[in-house]
């Protein structure tokens, strides 16, 4: 769990280039944000905001735990702040828009091209309740254990287990024709 690059952050052991941390973690941070937000532009914005926040908060980071987990924590918190900050009206409009898009799509019973199936999966993941989506994304796409997810999301091990199970149940139902 200890990031090699952060060992050098301990007192008396020198320093590390932040640039290097960005380079090492940007792809994963971006992918994580993309799966949370479902939008490329917002993923880039959110992940960059996360790096800036991580830089600002570095003095309060003791450096012994994983930078990766810590960055996930920051990104989830920023993402939740944004969700909270977004006006209800906007959220309603967005829901209506995605519903309209769904209706406009070809019937789901037919054989879908890989790209279409990918888009459908992405959409179904995006439809999950926030906590379920966060747990699922961290587990499936970033391969964090239940315990690690509990740390990132500041919840209990059982919360992780239950939410992951609920997410899978919902996705199995939504995607039953393809599973």
Partner 1 sequence: MIACGGIPIEEFHDGELPAAAAEEVRRHLAACASCARSLDELRRLEGLLKAAPVHDPPRVDDYGARVRERLRASGSARWKALLPLAAAAALAAVLWCTLPVDVAALVLEYAASTSPETRRAIETRIHQGGAPAVAVLEQVMRDGAPQAQAAAGVILARHPDPAVRMRLIEQTRAESEAPEEWELTEIGTEPTDDELVGCAFELLKSPRTREDAVRILCKLYKGGANRAVREAIVDGAKELLTSAVPRDQELGLELVRAMELRFLLADLVDLLDAPALRNQAHRVLVEQEKRDYGRDKQAWRRYFAGKRT
Closest to partner 1 by CB, 1 or 96: 1
Question: What gap in Å lies between CA 132 and CA 118, rounded to an integer?
Answer: 19
Interaction mask 9-38, partner 1, x per CB under 8 A: xxxxxxxxxxx--xx--xx--xx--xx---
Scanning 58-113, the segments in alpha helix (DSSP H) are 67-85, 88-104
Question: What gap in Å lies between CA 46 and CA 78, rounded to an integer?
Answer: 7
- Does the protein bind partner 1 through residue 100 (CB under 8 A)? no
| Sign of the dihedral through C-alpha 18, 48, 171, 115 | negative
Q: Which stretch binds partner 1 (CB under 8 A): 8-16, 86-94, 100-108, 127-135?
A: 8-16
Specify the residue for token string 């810590």: 70
Interface pick for partner 1 out of 46, 71, 135, 171 (rule CB under 8 A): 171
Contact 9, 17 (CB under 8 A): no
What is the smallest separation between the CB atom of 141 and partner 1, expressed in angstroms? 7
What is the smallest separation between the CB atom of 59 and partner 1, expressed in angstroms? 4
- Does the protein bind partner 1 through residue 116 (CB under 8 A)? no
Closest to partner 1 by CB, 95 or 178: 178
First-to-last C-alpha distance (Å) of the chain: 33
């Amino acid at each position: 769990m200890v990031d090699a690059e952060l060992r050098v952050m301990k007192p008396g052991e020198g320093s590390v280039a932040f640039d290097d941390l960005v380079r090492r973690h940007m792809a994963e941070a971006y992918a994580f944000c993309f799966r949370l937000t479902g939008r490329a532009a917002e993923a880039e914005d959110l992940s960059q905001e996360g790096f800036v926040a991580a830089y600002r908060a570095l003095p309060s980071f003791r450096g012994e735990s994983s930078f990766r987990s810590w960055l996930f924590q920051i990104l989830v918190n920023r993402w939740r702040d944004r969700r909270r900050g977004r006006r209800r009206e906007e959220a309603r409009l967005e829901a209506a828009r995605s519903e309209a898009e769904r209706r406009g799509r070809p019937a789901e019973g037919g054989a879908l091209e890989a790209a279409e199936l990918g888009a459908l999966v992405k959409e179904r993941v995006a439809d999950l309740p926030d906590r379920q989506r966060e747990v699922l994304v961290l587990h499936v796409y970033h391969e964090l254990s239940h315990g690690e997810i509990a740390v990132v999301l500041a919840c209990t091990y059982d919360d992780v287990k239950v939410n992951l199970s609920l997410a899978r149940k919902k996705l199995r139902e939504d995607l039953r024709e393809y599973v």
